[in-house]
Structure 1
Amino acid sequence: MSGFLDDQDAAERILNHVENGTTDHSDEVWREPVANYLNPARLACETDEVMRRTPIAYCPSAALPDIGSYVARESARTPLVVVRGRDKKVRAFKNACRHRGTQVAEGSGCAKAFVCPYHGWTYQLDGSLKQVPHEEGFPGFDKSVHGLVPVDCEERLGMVFVTQEKSLWKESPFQDLPQLIESDQKLMSATEVDLDANWKVHLESFLEGYHIRFAHPETFYPYGYDNLNLIEFCGSHGRITYPFRRIEKLADVPKEKRNIDGRVTFVYHVFPNVVITVLSRHTNIVIIEPVTVDRTRVVTYVLTNAGGGEDAAALAERDHSFVTQTGAAEDIALVKSIQRSINSDANEHFTFGHYESLIAHFHRNLTAALDGKPIE
């Protein structure tokens, strides 16, 4: 495994591509069977055998700022609740009362305890069962073994990760990944939206720049390039860099003094289903949760960028609004277009060429995980 380029080396590589009219590419063509987007049994394996056995980004640490801060939602089709305890440690639990399974938390907020809305069973922030109303009606009942069911959880790289089942990984999948979210980045919003598309179709839309000139002719393309990207791998993860034309102003700046902030968009793919986009003025964390083969829940956290200063929130809001209403909307329309035709039998497979190697990297690792083989 190897880490990503530092800013100075990334700038150097981009400027070389600009000068030579080239881009990063591979020598591989990957053909992914369309059946793999349509088969409910395949989707069940993707969630049960891969997502539940992989440390999955659940939320940024910034979503849990205080003791009692919690986030409840489904991850890999399992209801979970993640909470910061009185010891400031983050813990995760299956979101189900140990009485009859009612979910004990909804959405996000801050709580002193979790109280089941059905019969009032009360759980402390560490998951232990504190109170059972009319406990005498449950003779011999042992509260100490009926706490919320814990799920492995760790806080690192500015994120909270959950692993629901025995991990696929022999070594840490985070090795050599950079800090993804810095402590000074402020959470601006969190949303959940259902998208009528397969989760992989949506994910793929983030992972190549081959489409920029045609999909975004009046939004992103005027500021960027046609098919000019850096593509890097870090184990099963990856990063694609989208440079803006203004990076050319660095051509005459000594390499060690080049600052590429605001001159590129970094898109990190954290295997298998998370995308982190670091744009000019804001950062998006996009968690792509499969629901069915043709429906996906998209969880998006919007944060200010690191080191943004006093105007960070206002600048981030303006940047986010532009991206959401323009390029992102165009991508969503194309994702829906693919989904509408996916059952037509027009294609037996989707073809990912030399400029789409990050997508191929994802499918190779997903296939390996499903086959029980070591993940790169």
Structure 2
Amino acid sequence: MSREELVAMTRSLVEHGAADTMEYADEIVRVPAASYTDPELYEREKRNIFRRLPLMVAPSCELPEPGDYKAMDICGVPLLLTRQRDGSVAAFLNMCTHRGNPVVSGTGNATRFMCGYHGWTFKNDGDLVGVASPKDFGAVDKAALCLKRFPSFESAGLIWATLDLDSKLPIENYLSGYDALLDAFGFKDWTLFSQRTLDGPNWKTAYDGYLDFYHLPVLHKETFGADFFNRANYFFWGPHQRLSSPSKFVQKTGSDEQLDLTQMSDEDLPPDALTQGVWTIFPHISIASFYGGGQRGAMISQLFPGETVGTSTTTQYYVMENQPETDEQVKSAHEQFDFLEVVVRDEDYATGKRQHEALQSGMMKEVLFGKNERGGQVFHQWVDKLTNASDEELLEIFSAEQKQAAE
């Protein structure tokens, strides 16, 4: 069923490309400029979106082996991911149940974590197994003092966690069947080649760019070229989106050759055609395919709000179908990843920072999203909807989305 849906999307893109048309939104949409600059709204978004909804916290290939762990901070919440002995992933609140000190930092491989403050020790499944100087401390129920566990889910080579210990929202409902389509990339068998973190503007300013092909031949004329495409059709699964250029051609992996999809049967459509474009996972992930180092690759951009309304951080993961083997392949892969850093850091995010500074003047009351910018329209509608939804309404919203996806 997932391949059938991918084929249907591809054929729709081919038809629009052959006819030189695209799908439009019904109207131009106006978004208050204050939605980018209001500090109180920003705090609500962090609380009601990033600390309440499932987040894609790591590609599976970042934690490939049992015992692998990763500690990170998301909007003030210390998170610990661990790969268990049985191959599953667990997500914990990275706070010792004695005094709240994080039990580990960074990444590595370990079966146990000892808090660096008083020496309490936890297994990587969260169980408390050692209290320092137990006779002096006094009797405690270790089973009641395990690391607190967040809801987590792994699918399509990606790991999600919800930073709400009491969340009742099933992550599967939240994804609305989208993960079954993402599985077409094959990430569960891919490898992590490199990663880095960039500073960016307001998180919505930054995310707007991932949902927008309109700017490509203008902002990126020196990197992609002034004749680059600027049209996109959009596909939706709840708040998650795919945008792809309507075209009857797709570039063959590792070659400058353009494949004419009108001359290919559905059975012969390659992964390049079925997964082309940008895939976004609300509220903070962008996935785009590239080729470097002799292998299929993808850049997964993981965006989080920063400490203030005008800041954000983005971790870029460059994942590859196979680890490059020769010096030439490694060099080529690094060149591709470095090129993407220039595009995002020096063009997208530099522009976003200037844009945010201008909006903070308060001299502009609204920004516009055209009929050709449907992705940005839908994104801001979902941000408003989910920021203002109660916990009960949240369950109803995604129960309905999951039901619709299953029909």
- State if a TM-score over 0.5 links the two structures: yes
Query: What is the root-mean-square deviation in Å for CA atoms of aligned residues?
Result: 2.9
In the TM superposition, what is the alpha-carbon distance from 1:201 to its structure 2 partner? 0.5
Output aligned runs, 1:90-105, within 5 Å. Answer: 90-105=89-104
User: Can you give the 5+ residue segments of structure 1 that lack an aligned partner in the other structure?
Assistant: none
Contact 1:123 1:130 in 2 (8 A): yes
Match of 1:286 in 2: 301
> Among 214, 223, 232, which residue is 1:229 paired with?
232
Q: 1:146 to 1:258 in 2, by over 3 A?
A: closer
Aligned amino acid, residue 54 of structure 1 = L
Q: 1:221 to 1:231 in 2, by over 3 A?
A: farther
Q: Indicate the SS of the match to 2:356.
A: helix
CA distance in 1, matches of 2:142, 2:352: 48
> Among 183, 190, 206, which residue is 1:185 paired with?
190
Pick the structure with more helix per residue: 2
Greater mean alpha carbon deviation, residues 311-320 or residues 47-56 = 311-320
TM-score by length of 1: 0.88
CA distance in 1, matches of 2:368, 2:3: 26
Match of 1:277 in 2: 288
CA distance in 2, matches of 1:33, 1:212: 24
Q: 1:264 to 1:132 in 2, by over 3 A?
A: closer
Q: Deviations over 1:216-243 (max 9, x none)?
A: 1132235732x22221111211011147
Output aligned runs, 1:194-343, within 5 Å. Answer: 194-195=199-200, 197-221=201-225, 224-225=228-229, 227-242=230-245, 249-250=259-260, 253-256=263-266, 257-259=268-270, 261=272, 265-280=276-291, 281-291=296-306, 292-304=308-320, 306=321, 315-326=332-343, 329-343=346-360
Q: Deviations over 1:281-312 (max 9, x none)?
A: 421221111122112121222101x4798677
Contact 1:104 1:117 in 2 (8 A): yes
Q: Indicate the SS of the match to 1:22.
A: coil
Contact 1:75 1:289 in 2 (8 A): yes
> Among 351, 356, 361, which residue is 1:344 paired with?
361
In the TM superposition, what is the alpha-carbon distance from 1:203 to its structure 2 partner? 0.6
Greater mean alpha carbon deviation, residues 203-212 or residues 292-301 = 292-301
Q: Deviations over 1:346-368 (max 9, x none)?
A: 21122111111111111111211
Report how many aligned residue pairs link the two structures.
372
Aligned amino acid, residue 239 of structure 1 = R
Q: Indicate the SS of the match to 1:221.
A: coil
In the TM superposition, what is the alpha-carbon distance from 1:83 to its structure 2 partner? 0.3
TM-score by length of 2: 0.82
Aligned amino acid, residue 232 of structure 1 = F
Match of 2:52 in 1: 53
Contact 2:13 2:245 in 1 (8 A): no
CA distance in 1, matches of 2:20, 2:337: 30
Greater mean alpha carbon deviation, residues 236-245 or residues 158-167 = 236-245
